A and B are shown apart, each in its own frame.
Chain A
């Protein structure tokens, strides 16, 4: 208990800044142009995907490239159920469908380690996409379907809520017994298993939890797409972007993925509009420079500067802190 109140006290500046930013974001639709709302909605969507990705891959060190699969399941849920269910129920269904799919994919793949896990999860996106495509063409005789349109402002608020939920979940999970088990798996899985941690269960459950949030996000943002088919819903970019954004922002801290997603998607937006032909080149160069010079992302850079300014008072404790 004293531990908890101490943590709260120590983090009062962060909490205050977070609440302020949240209040500003909540007020945006009242005074800004529709374009700003759409731009912020996209940034928040990527923040949600990146936070979800980091929830599992951050502490465990298993690089999942299945984000697009769970995102797509959310999108399809919206396409199928959007007309018959109210928005909150439909979004929740998207989350649950992704959760269940992740339990299955997780149970099969999480015995694989390193690059094998990454490749298998990537393949699972392609597999689901192609099976769905085949099913629609041969069984249903159609391709794709329309999605119910919901106002951008509503979607904006739902995505904002998902991001807040994710940040709170990540924060408390990290400080819990369960979070310790997660990071011990990333640190030394064999040792974790031999001191009584059910590593399979922890991995599969965290994977499914992370996918639940990805499904929520997919079902919510699908309402802005109007029409979808399997190639739109299961776009591999949605596997790569969250991973890159997390690396860009830094995964050791709950703010890293959010900052990564914000800077990354804003940068992408600007580059696409200003330099439509050179944008991928500039973008690639920025990513390479980040990986070479900021291995711990933007958050890592901030931490290093903070440690230097504080004169190493808190340096070892903060830089060595368990994720």
Chain B
């Protein structure tokens, strides 16, 4: 069953078309990978789906309901939540309070005991229990990212958008993050992840979409993507330019 359907989604910023006529469909329970060079429009696509910006054209159907152009708080309460490429936590609040905010406001009419109980459960699940009384702003990057994921999970989402969860993590931390993503899927949460760490995306995702200059170039299994000529050209081309530049 389709949980999310995006049709011909378009967003301009002045003269620049950041996302141009993108179609995509996400099955309930799957992990979809979203890759592409810098500036391909991946984060903009997340911004449109999660309600940060309203699209200029196109449809976003979540759970059979049109959510295109809704404010992010409404979209979150419908069960679609995201994390940010640059971590956005509440730095002065403790880890527990951060997660509590998710469970208090992510769905309507939750009592304090219910919300605190749920926050504790999520802290356990994400392995943050021992840090619950620490101000979130004083944590290391990897733990701040974990807090953001935990806060998103506390809103009880059906779908989670992860924007470069693994960026800036060392190999051991990447392995842990991969394990966390798999366990989140096992909770029945559908995931779309933007990722530059190829090892992670090739291992976790059954299906990958490649964006380039705001357009969807190709969609396929990790094997198809890693052997596709266009994809290799996009990435190698960029790498050659980078080498030539340095």
Contacts and interface: CB of A to CB of B under 8 A. Distances in A.
Interface in A182-237: 183-184, 187-188, 190-200
B236 to A, nearest CB: 35
A193 B101 contact: no
Interface stretch (B23-31, B72-80, B175-183, B207-215): B72-80
B237 interface: no
Given A177-B104, A181-B105, A320-B135, A195 B81 contact: yes
B73 A180 contact: no
B216 interface: no
A195 B104 CA distance: 9
A314 to B, nearest CB: 13
Interface stretch (B10-18, B36-44, B84-92, B222-230): B84-92
B146 interface: no
A193 B93 contact: no
Contacts of A190: 52, 84, 88
Given A194-B81, A195-B106, A196-B106, A187 B92 contact: yes
A194 B50 contact: yes
A197 B105 contact: yes
Most buried by B among A3, A196, A199, A200: A196
B119 to A, nearest CB: 12
Nearest to B161: A194
Contacts of A181: 105
Contacts of A85: none
B107 interface: yes
Interface string A78-101: 000000000000000000000000
Contacts of A199: 73
Interface of A is mostly: helix
A223 to B, nearest CB: 42
Contact of B93 (A195, A197, A322): A322
Contacts of B76: 194-196
Contact of A193 (B72, B97, B100, B107): B72
The 4 closest A-B pairs by CB, nearest first: A191-B88, A187-B90, A196-B76, A196-B105
Contacts of A197: 73, 101, 105
A194 B104 contact: no
A323 B135 CA distance: 13
Contacts of B148: 191
B8 interface: no
Given A177-B104, A181-B105, A190-B52, A198 B90 contact: no
A177 to B, nearest CB: 6
Interface in A158-191: 177, 180-181, 183-184, 187-188, 190-191
